[in-house]
Structure formats: C-alpha cells, structure tokens
A and B are shown apart, each in its own frame.
Chain A
Amino acid sequence: MLRLEEMSCGYGSLSVVNELSVFVPEGVVFAMIGANGAGKSSTIMSIAGHVEVKSGRILFEGQNLAAVPARDRVKLGITVAPEGRRLFSDMTVEENLAVGCYSLPTTQFKDNKEKVFQLFPRLAERVSQQAGSLSGGEQQMLAIGRALMPNPKLLIIDELSLGLMPKVIDLCYLAIEKLKKDGVTILLVEQNTARAFEVADQVCVLESGVDVWQGSAEDAKKDKGLVEAYLGLKK
C-alpha cells in the first residue's frame, strides 16, 4: 500500500532521514519505533506532504506522492493523527470532526461522526466542549477520531501513547485493534515499544534517520537486545 523508496527528507539543507526504504502492506499495523530525533515524525510529515522529500520516492497504491499536494492526499486515503495532536484547540469537538470530514460531502458527516463516537464514546459526551479543554487522553481520541472522519485507507498515528495514562493507552490500543479488523492500514509511531509490538504485524526501527532493523513483530519481540541496542532504553 505504502512504499518508501530510498526516501530522504528534511528541512532546508538539513537532511533528517536518509534513504529510508519501507514497505507497508495493506491491512497491517506497521510500527515505526526509535528514540527521540530518529526521524520518525519527519518521515510521517513527509508522507503527509509537510516535510520536503529530498530524494527517493513515496508511493501510495503505486502512485508517486511527489505530484500530489498535501491537501489532496486525504482524498487518496491518507490521514494523520500527528505528534502533539495538533487539534484545532479553540474549536469544539464537533467542529474538529467537521474539519476532519472536509474532503467528503456534508451528507457523510453524521454517519462518520457516529462511527467515531462508537469507537470513542467519551467524545460523544464532550461534543460541544472546546478541544483545548479536553484531557490529554480525550485529545488523543479526538485526534484519531478526526483522522478517521475522511474514511482513510492508511491511518498514521504519531506518538500514540506519549503522555497518556495507562488506562487511556489501553482504550486507544483497543480502538486500533478494532480499526485493524475493519481493514484500515495503520502506520504507528511509538516510543512505548512493548505496547507497539503487541498490536503490530511489522516493525521498523529508526536510528539517526536510517532504518537499522526491519522485520515481523514476532521477531522483534524475541530479539531481546533490539530495544536496548537501538532505543537506549530498557523495558
């Protein structure tokens, strides 16, 4: 579904990710892990069209994304729940979802909103509350909900569990499993490797902008040294 071919990206003259090649097949949960500054978020934002691709290609369903402006990528089926959530904080939950649905005809709004509320009933209770006044967990749910509004084929979630309470993380992972069953392909960026390995089918480890390990989540779990070696943290 998504293929990066020796993709380098960065800001100005600075390259943050170098010649990264990744293949995300349809229907899988693909976990991208790595320490801070490894280039995960830059990779994601270049898929979304907000970070400049310096060389190589990004292909989505065989189509080169270089020719597709950021605004049209949602129509291809790519959406992002970005790092830091980046909600429209002085707008209500409902309005955030409405912007999420902007690429679809308005008639779709109600149905898709109901689907999001089924996944995260908490959001239904907060529907007219300002996004900025939600708790961290609710904000993450809204960020994911907003990204689900356009019926994505590929949902990209950056730092799903960062700063959230364990109970809320459970809720979010439960949602991811449901989405996977519905056939949504998910590219998940995580620092919480234990949680990521549980839900993921495939794993890619980034370090300083290069991929140092790729394989199945099964193998990643077995490889005790992997997390320590490349993430510099013990789990």
Chain B
Amino acid sequence: MFIFELLVQGLIQGGIYALIAIGLTLVYGLLRILHVAHAGLYALGGYCAILITNASGSFGLALTCSMIIVGIIGMVVYRIFYQPLLDKAPFVALIASIGLFIAMEEIFRIIFGAYGLTFSAPPLQDTVVFLGIYLRQCEIASIVLAIGLIAGLSLFTKYSRIGIAWRATVTDPEMAESFGVDVIKVRYLNFFIGSMMAAAAGSMVALLNNLVEPTMGSVPSYKALAIIVLGGLGNVRGTLIASLAIGIAEAVGTIYLGNILDRDSIAFAFLIVVLMLKPQGLFSKG
C-alpha cells in the first residue's frame, strides 16, 4: 500500500512535469529552439489561476481563462521573440529566451510582490479516500487534468486535419509546405497548445501548494530541459515517459534518500545516471 501511495504521488508530480515538458519538446521539435521562457509562462499560468479564482470564486473558470490567456501570450512570445531570430544561429534564440525568462520573473516580482500570492479560500482541499489511500481533491484533479489534456493532444494530432499537418511539419516543413500546409499557422498552434498546457500545470501547482511566487518557474525550467533531453529531444512520447519516471523517482527517492539528498537533487541525480548510461536519451529518434 505504501508503495502504491508513492507511485500515485509520483504520478501527480510526473503529470505536472509532463504538462510542462511537452510544450518545451514541441517547440524544440518544430523550431530547434530551447524555449527556456516556457517556465515563465508556466508561472504566469499559476498567477492567472490565483488572481482569477480570488476575483471570481471559481477555480474552473480561472483554469480555463488561465490556459487561454497564457496560450495567446505564448503565441505573442513566438511572434515577438523567436520569429525574428529564426534565421540566426540557435543559441541566439536561446539567449533571448533566457533573457525573457529572467525578465518575466522580475515582472512578477514587481507587479505581484516578492512573497507571492495565495488563494483567499483554496478550493478542492478536502481529503478523500481513493483506492485505499488518502488524497486531496486537488491531487486527483491534477492527475485527471494531466491525463485529459495529454489524451486530448494525442487525439488532436492523430485525427484532426491540422493536427496531422502539424506532425508533418515537424518531420519536414518544406514538404508540408509544398502540400499547402501553412507552416506559420502551425507554429502559432504549436505555441498556443504548448503554453496552454504549461498554464494548466502552473494552475495545478498553485492549487497543490496554495502558493505562486516569482521564481516558481526556475526549478521546473531546469528540470523540464533535462526531461526533454532524457526523452529524446522533440519526442513527445519519450518526454511523457521521462516525466513520469522523474516524478516517481522523486517520490520514491524522497522517502529512501531524503536524509542525504533533497527532492530536486534526487531528480537531477536520476537524470545524470540515466544520461551517463544512455547519453542520447532514452528515446532518441536517432
């Protein structure tokens, strides 16, 4: 039972990582840019969730708005920061992205204060018994949301016309273009969906911790970068598995190695070990 509980905790955390890292790997797959500022959008999603919940009283509304707002801001980030840099060497966009991320953290600090924000009445905090273990409602919601969004994305890319065109563009943009696919539209779609999922993660983390703070994106930012390397850059399925693996490794490690290492260092230790054994990542496309 104890192991099962650890597994569930790992899946909650892994689901959050997956929501963040999928957006990152999507951007990398399409544009070969390491979109560091993605974690800033994740934090922004958390801020939106708390601000809108406190104003309206509905977390559901706040989550929806947060995802849409951050999705649109993700497209704006592409338009303003990345599109003009696509012809330059990849590190140029990377530097711009790091700069943007730092700027976003400072903007959060200036506008919302250094100590962060909390829910005035945190919703979904009641404990329920689920398959014999005690979980908060928000933890269950977090798993359900992660599964729902990832399944939705998978169906969308498999069955919708634009979704199929999107995958084609990732494989060979020129050829996709030759068959009439608007690759610019695909890029906007890519940023919208990736940012939307990051906002969902940020909103759920805000709810789980009842806290957002300016630097809440820092650690997830490094971790998500490491996860997409582990999953084979640009590989969505690999990223998903790597996210869950890291989540579970953290949950188990915190119990058994918690005296020596803290949670984040366990995650990175796991990454280092895996990358030493398989430097090209677990699911590299070769």
Contact = CB atoms under 8 A, between A and B. Distances in A.
Interface of A: 48-50, 70-75, 79-80, 82, 86, 88-91, 95-96, 98-103, 106, 146, 149-150
A73 B177 CA distance: 9
B172 interface: yes
Given A50-B174, A82-B175, A101-B179, 13 more contacts: A50-B177, A70-B178, A74-B180, A86-B172, A88-B171, A90-B167, A91-B164, A95-B167, A99-B164, A102-B179, A102-B180, A103-B180, A146-B179
A103 B164 contact: no
A201 B175 CA distance: 28
Interface string B146-189: 00000000000000010011011001101111111111000000
B175 A86 contact: yes
A149 B168 CA distance: 15
Contacts of A74: 178-180
A198 to B, nearest CB: 28
A210 B39 CA distance: 53
A97 to B, nearest CB: 10
A209 to B, nearest CB: 21
Contact of B180 (A48, A71, A86, A89): A71
21 contacts: A70-B174, A70-B178, A71-B177, A71-B178, A72-B180, A73-B178, A74-B178, A75-B180, A80-B178, A86-B172, A86-B174, A88-B172, A89-B171, A91-B168, A95-B167, A99-B165, A99-B168, A102-B161, A102-B165, A102-B179, A150-B179
Interface of B: 161, 164-165, 167-168, 171-172, 174-183, 285
A99 B177 contact: no
A102 B160 CA distance: 12
**In this complex, which of B167, B183, B285 has the most chain A Cβ atoms within 10 angstroms of its Cβ?**
B167
Contacts of B168: 88, 91, 95-96, 99
B32 to A, nearest CB: 17
Contacts of B172: 86, 88
Contact of A50 (B167, B178, B179): B178
A80 B175 CA distance: 9
B171 A100 contact: no
A91 B171 contact: yes
B174 A99 contact: no
Nearest to B161: A106
A90 B167 CA distance: 9
B164 A49 contact: no
Given A88-B172, A90-B171, A91-B171, A98 B178 contact: no
B182 to A, nearest CB: 6
A196 B176 CA distance: 28
Contacts of A71: 177-178, 180-183
A56 to B, nearest CB: 21
**In this complex, which of B167, B178, B183 has the most chain A Cβ atoms within 10 angstroms of its Cβ?**
B178
By Cβ-Cβ distance, the 10 closest A-B pairs, closest first, are A103-B180, A99-B168, A88-B171, A88-B168, A74-B180, A102-B180, A71-B177, A86-B175, A102-B179, A70-B177
Contacts of A80: 178
A186 to B, nearest CB: 17
B143 to A, nearest CB: 28
A149 B175 CA distance: 14
Nearest to A131: B171
Contacts of A103: 179-180
A73 B180 CA distance: 8
A72 B181 CA distance: 9
A81 to B, nearest CB: 10
A60 to B, nearest CB: 14
A128 B178 CA distance: 23
A24 to B, nearest CB: 18
Contacts of B182: 71
A150 B174 CA distance: 16
Contact of A91 (B161, B167, B178, B183): B167
B145 to A, nearest CB: 27
**In this complex, which of A99, A102, A146, A150 has the most chain B Cβ atoms within 10 angstroms of its Cβ?**
A99
A102 B181 contact: yes
A50 B174 CA distance: 7
Given A82-B175, A90-B171, A95 B164 contact: yes
A106 B180 CA distance: 13
